[in-house]
């Protein structure tokens, strides 16, 4: 018997403990590792480079509503696989995986609460759910939020984040663009503010519809905003595009976005806008 085998029982206290796999998060902006708790406490904004990480409905609702208090609104159910679509996986399997990973029934969630003392309905698109892609479920959820705002006579605030239409639903996904557009028109006719907060990324059919139909457009710093990708555009027009031309700051400079607001100031900015647009001053900070 070797000396190591003889002393091994006495070294049992040195057994390596498993390290949680979510203890650190690598910043997609600067590449530095951030302690997860520190990142969460900083509203999921990198404390080193100010890169705004993508967040889901739960985090967004807690950040934007007063005291983190809100009431989720029911989302109408839709046919899950109208085209019986299959690529490498069945569409139904992709839906199950997305629900399991996010804990959300769809890529769009709606809640009602108060922002700086002003009642509002807030819709949040979840990029973690199949890239926030717009299908029938997202369309119904957006419409449900708009109808709730119309019924309660309150503003509608929508946070967009999407890679575009959901290919697994074909033409049915594209039909959500005019459907959502009709609801934005109804909000305008009713004199109710419709504010869009564009987050990273917002592209494709979402940009071509309700993301660009707001009364006010706010973007988070560095957000990618566009319809087609830069490479596709360059190949089509055969010209080199300016650096960062699809980023929030560039679009703000060229008039497509009204303002670029840091996440830490976003709630106060929304409250101020809602106060002006509803003639109901937001509560003092």
Instruction: Name the one residue in this structure whose structure tokens are 């390596």.
Output: 16
Annotated binding residue 82: no
Per the listing, tokens 């002006």 go with: 276
Q: Is 49 annotated as a binding residue?
A: yes
Residues contacting 161, CB < 8 A, separation 6+? 54, 125, 126, 127, 132, 199, 200, 201, 202
Residue 13 CB-density burial (10 A; 0-12 exposed, 13-18 middle, 19+ buried): exposed
SS3 label, residue 234: helix
Cβ count within 10 A of residue 243 = 8
27 annotated among ligand-binding-site residues: yes
Of 24, 1, 111, residue with least CA distance to 63: 111
Q: Which of 167, 168, 173, 157 is closest to 120 using CA atoms?
A: 157
Sort strands 156-162 and 118-125 into parallel, antiparallel or unpaired: parallel
Provide the CB-side half-sphere exposure for 276 (13 A, CA): 9
Is 30 a known ligand-binding residue?
A: yes
Q: What is the CA radius of gyration of the chain?
A: 22
3-state secondary structure of 163: coil
Residue list for the binding site for Zn(2+): 27, 30, 46, 49
Residue list for the binding site: 27, 30, 46, 49
């Amino acid at each position: 018997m070797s000396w190591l085998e003889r002393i091994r029982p006495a070294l049992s206290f040195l057994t390596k403990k498993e390290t949680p796999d979510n203890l650190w998060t690598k910043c997609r902006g600067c590449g530095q590792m951030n302690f997860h708790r520190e990142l969460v406490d900083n509203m999921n904004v990198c404390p080193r480079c100010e890169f705004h990480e993508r967040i889901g409905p739960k985090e967004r609702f807690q950040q934007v509503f007063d005291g983190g208090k809100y009431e989720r609104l029911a989302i109408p159910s839709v046919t899950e696989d109208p085209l019986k679509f299959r690529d490498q996986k069945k569409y139904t399997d992709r839906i199950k995986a997305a629900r399991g990973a996010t804990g959300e029934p769809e890529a769009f969630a709606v809640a009602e609460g108060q922002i700086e003392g002003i009642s509002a309905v807030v819709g949040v698109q979840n990029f973690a759910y199949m890239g926030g892609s717009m299908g029938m479920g997202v369309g119904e959820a957006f419409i449900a939020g708009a109808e709730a705002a119309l019924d309660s006579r309150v503003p509608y605030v929508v946070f967009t984040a999407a890679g575009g239409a959901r290919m697994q639903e074909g033409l049915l996904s594209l039909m959500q663009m005019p459907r959502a557009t009709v609801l934005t028109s109804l909000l305008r006719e009713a004199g109710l503010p419709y504010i869009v907060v564009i987050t990273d990324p917002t592209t494709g059919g979402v940009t071509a519809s309700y993301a660009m139909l707001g009364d006010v457009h706010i973007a988070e710093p560095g957000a990618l905003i566009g319809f087609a990708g830069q490479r596709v555009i360059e190949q089509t027009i055969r010209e080199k595009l300016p650096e960062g031309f699809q980023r929030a700051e560039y679009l703000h400079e060229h008039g497509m976005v009204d303002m670029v607001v840091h996440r830490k100031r976003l709630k106060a900015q929304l409250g101020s806008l809602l106060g002006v647009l509803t003639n109901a001053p937001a509560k003092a900070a």
